[in-house]
Amino acid sequence: MKRPTTRPTDRIFQRELLKSLQEERSVIITEGLPEIARALRAKPFCPHPLFRTRHAQTLMGYAW
């Protein structure tokens, strides 16, 4: 079966589309960071008394 060939203009379009989508995603993620920071400051992580090690958050995140 013969593979369809792409024209150079198709590759340029795909590259530009991918670039614009990555930029949009970056903006969306960056805009949400202050809200996440506020939520984390409002309710800091407090480990269960049985899990007071320095890696409690890592262990609980894995188990969740």
In the Cβ-directed half-sphere of 58, how many Cα atoms lie within 13 Å? 3
Give the contacts of 35 (CB within 8 A, at least 6 positions apart): none
* pLDDT for res 8: 62
pTM given for the model:
0.34
Amino acid residing at 52: R
pLDDT in tens, 41-64: 898 777 677 766 667 677 767 777
Please report, in angstroms and rounded to a whole number, the separation of the first and last CA atoms in the chain.
47
pLDDT of 28: 67
Mean predicted confidence (pLDDT) in 16-29: 73
Domain ranges (residues) in the chain:
15-45+54-63
